[in-house]
Amino acid sequence: MARKNAATSDNIDWYLISIDRLKKIGLVVFLALLAGGIWFYISHERGNPRTLAEGAIADARQALNSLASSKDFNAHRAEFDRAQKKLDDASNLFSAKKYQEAQAAAFESQTVSRTAVNGGGDQENDARFLTLEGDVECQKGSSGDWLRADLRTPLVNGDWVKTHDSASAELMFQNGSLYTIGPNALLEIYSTINAQTSRKTNSVQMKFGSVEVATVNDQSTVRTPGSQVVVDSESTTQVGVNKADEQTSVMGVRGTASVAPAAGGEAVKIAAGDKLNATSAGSLGPVKKLLMPPAVTNPPDNQVFSIAVDTQISFQWQAQPGAVAYQLQVSRSRLFSTLEINSRRTKLEATAKVESEGIFYWRVASIGPDGDLGPFSPFRRFRVSGSGKSTPTTAADTQPPSLVLKAPFNIGGQFYIIEGQTEPGATVFVNDEEADVETNGHFKKLVSFNKVGQNTVIVKAVDAAGNPTVKSQVVLVEE
């Protein structure tokens, strides 16, 4: 640079810059502006919720058109209707500027359409029935036909499940979460896609009734008319919705859970033994501490009794500090959908007379000074036999029990149902874990395989005289 003569009238310093240098400075500025524009586009356009939702809706519409033009369209009309409804929901959510919800709905629509086009409509599922007791029905999507539930019926987002009097059901989701539905309940499978991770979340929408959620290594969600309950991993939580006023009741049984208003707001954390109520408008009540269940002591788990004129069973449990009474329940159902005994006791024992054979389950809960019932203890089982096999005459019994196995049934992922039939009164073990055996000898057990490839299942049935029958099955788990 060269300074101009300073003797000018205005005494201003002037600088001379070459044309080449101006070009270089201009290029640097241009590149900086270009880089800034690219960064702005990536961070504010490509990655913003509105753009992501637009792209998801476009992809969902294209997938729906592919399904509509497929040669098997008539066979997948139900899937088309479900995908169309989800796409409409996505468009409405987008118009309301709820972009993340719109993206999730569009992603769900796209999944349904592409699954149907690929001929895998029955393979993709969010949940399956694990256990059915009594009158349980399901409704596929938005169709108006209620069908009797079947263990082999896959359930996907938008399907409904309904239980009637003295009926219960267990739903197993893909991640291993177990939903136990009580009598007189109505719920919708409400699995959604996390827009950030593209992972499917396991959830249901409770209209009324009760459900107990037991998670493994992932969260699960229960939506109610006024609240949202997120059950943390390795936790168990009970959620009930009153049909009359739609009030929600949440009780922690194991681990932790969070309860928040459905419309949004601060969540409240609860632990085992905590109870919280929420109104249909989403107002959360205070957290109340309940008494934990007492330790049950007698009869021992799986004890066998023989029917006689004076046969009685004595139930005993230990005192729970603070309890003023206890609730004893005895049922033929593992899910306690029907009750043989439902009695409030102030003592630490109760006696019942045995009049029929079969397998029974029993449990006890503590009642606090305010009359609130806490969570029940884990159930115990006992067997009542009318064959006399538990008497000394069993020494002459050397015949092993019958054992017939069905083909292993995959309910999703690495989860399989091992099912079969044995002699009534026999005990069954599947890979050294005891299975539930019904009065007629039917049994089933959920088994999870962690190894891809060939797995061996050992099933052993042992009758009351100690005679065993052992069989094996091979399960091929695909990656």
CATH of 127-289, one of 2.60.120.1440, 3.40.50.10800, 1.10.287.3610, 3.40.50.720: 2.60.120.1440
pLDDT in tens, 258-290: 999 988 888 999 999 999 999 999 899 999 999
pLDDT in tens, 282-311: 899 999 999 999 999 999 887 888 877 677
pLDDT above 60 (res 120): no
Average pLDDT over residues 331-346: 92
| DSSP one-letter string for 150-163 | -TT-EE-TT-EEEE
pLDDT above 50 (res 388): no
What's the pLDDT at 49?
A: 76
pLDDT above 90 (res 5): no
3-class DSSP assignment, residue 111 = helix
What's the pLDDT at 45?
A: 47
State both tokens at 287: 């957290």
What's the pLDDT at 413?
A: 72
Q: Per CATH, which fold does 394-477 belong to?
A: Immunoglobulin-like (2.60.40)
- 192 or 215: which carries more pLDDT confidence? 215
pLDDT above 80 (res 8): no
pLDDT above 50 (res 75): yes
What's the pLDDT at 387?
A: 52
Going through 369-414 in order, the beta strands assigned E by DSSP cover 373-376, 380-385, 403-405, 409-412
* CATH superfamily of the domain spanning 296-385: Immunoglobulins (2.60.40.10)
pLDDT above 80 (res 127): yes
Lowest mean pLDDT among 100-114, 140-154, 296-310, 370-384: 100-114
Cβ atoms 68, 62 nearer than 8 A: no
pLDDT in tens, 410-452: 877 778 889 999 988 788 889 888 888 877 788 888 888 877 7
Pairing outcome for strands 288-289 and 268-271: unpaired
Lowest mean pLDDT among 103-107, 274-278, 369-373, 388-392: 388-392
For the ranges 54-63, 120-129, 315-324, the maximum mean pLDDT occurs at: 315-324
* Model confidence band, residue 236 (pLDDT cutoffs 50, 70, 90): very high
Average pLDDT over residues 211-217: 91
pLDDT in tens, 90-117: 899 889 888 877 877 787 787 777 766 6
Cβ burial of 392 (10 Å; 0-12, 13-18, 19+) is exposed
3-class DSSP assignment, residue 389 = coil
Produce one character per residue of 44-72: b if its CB has 16 or more CB atoms within 10 Å, e if not: eeeeebeebbbebbebbbebbeebeebee
- Partner residues linked to 381 by β-bridges: 361
Distance separating alpha carbons of residues 105 and 192, to the nearest angstrom: 8
What's the pLDDT at 216?
A: 84
What's the pLDDT at 35?
A: 64
pTM for the structure as a whole: 0.70
